[in-house]
A and B are shown apart, each in its own frame.
Chain A
Amino acid sequence: ETGVTQTPRHLVMGMTNKKSLKCEQHLGHNAMYWYKQSAKKPLELMFVYNFKEQTENNSVPSRFSPECPNSSHLFLHLHTLQPEDSALYLCASSVGQGEQPQHFGDGTRLSIL
């Protein structure tokens, strides 16, 4: 039990599908993050929300659309993805800013057909 829960754990979708990834944190943290992890590559920061306001958008293509309705929930809406978007998508949360460590969810393994 990590305190950060992601659903679904696995997702296979076609390039024309629309799906959403969900993340919920039970740690009382104020910041939430989306990362992409591809094989043998570093974690790539995608988006950061602090008190449900977006503070970072790391030049992510518009086919990825984040939503943060409150400090405990974070979504990543997916639309018209490409095969190179297949990866592990990790959600994380932290107290305060980057001087504090982040706590990660189990991740969603996404495969684009």
Chain B
Amino acid sequence: RKEVEQDPGPFNVPEGATVAFNCTYSNSASQSFFWYRQDCRKEPKLLMSVYSSGNEDGRFTAQLNRASQYISLLIRDSKLSDSATYLCAANTGGFKTIFGAGTRLFVKA
């Protein structure tokens, strides 16, 4: 089983839609979680950190479910510019952060 697992997608949604991604992690000792956004042929950029039950930043909401060992990312009112690959990551302490392979999102007009 992969340490951090994501549905690769792609998710194809119309502008204005709400879309949610899930990410499961296998190590119950994981404490810190992150969502990154990666555009084609670019570097990952931090979208949100998820330290406790969850947090919200504008149209983006991240939630953590420790009992079921998953984190989710909800994007409301999708924009064309939201099209990207979304990576989740989990850290168990120390310097080793494990990344998922990413979920691709296409937002269409």
Contact across chains for A48 and B95 when beta carbons are under 8 A apart: yes
Hey, which chain B residues are within 8 Å of A109, CB to CB?
A: 41
B interface residue count range (under 10 / 10 to 19 / 20 to 34 / 35 or more): 20 to 34
Contact across chains for A90 and B31 when beta carbons are under 8 A apart: no
Q: A98-B32, A99-B31, A101-B34 are in contact. Are A43 and B44 (CB under 8 A)?
A: yes
Hey, which chain A residues are within 8 Å of B46, CB to CB?
A: 101-103
Q: How far apart are the CA atoms of A105 and B10 in the complex, in Å?
A: 25
Whether a CB of chain A sits under 8 angstroms from the CB of B4 is yes
Contact across chains for B99 and A43 when beta carbons are under 8 A apart: yes
Q: Chain A residue with minimal CB distance to B48? A: A101
User: Out of A31, A33, A105, which one reaches B43, CB within 8 Å?
Assistant: A105
* Mask: chain A, 19-51; 1 = CB below 8 Å from B; 0 = not: 000000000000101000000111101001010
Whether a CB of chain B sits under 8 angstroms from the CB of A66 is no
Contact across chains for A104 and B91 when beta carbons are under 8 A apart: no
Contact across chains for B94 and A98 when beta carbons are under 8 A apart: yes
A interface residue count range (under 10 / 10 to 19 / 20 to 34 / 35 or more): 20 to 34
Closest-CB distance, A87 to chain B (whole angstroms):
12
Whether a CB of chain B sits under 8 angstroms from the CB of A59 is no
Hey, which chain A residues are within 8 Å of B93, CB to CB?
A: 97-99
Whether a CB of chain A sits under 8 angstroms from the CB of B97 is yes
Hey, which chain B residues are within 8 Å of A101, CB to CB?
A: 34, 46, 49
Which residues in chain B, 29-86, are within 8 Å of chain A measured between CB atoms? 31-32, 34, 41-46, 49, 51
Q: Would you give 22 A-B contacts (Cβ < 8 Å), ordered by A?
A: A2-B45, A33-B95, A42-B98, A42-B102, A45-B96, A55-B94, A55-B95, A88-B41, A97-B93, A98-B92, A98-B95, A98-B96, A99-B91, A99-B93, A100-B32, A102-B46, A102-B97, A104-B44, A105-B43, A106-B42, A106-B43, A109-B41
- CB-based closest 7 A-B pairs: A98-B91, A104-B43, A43-B99, A99-B32, A48-B95, A42-B101, A101-B46
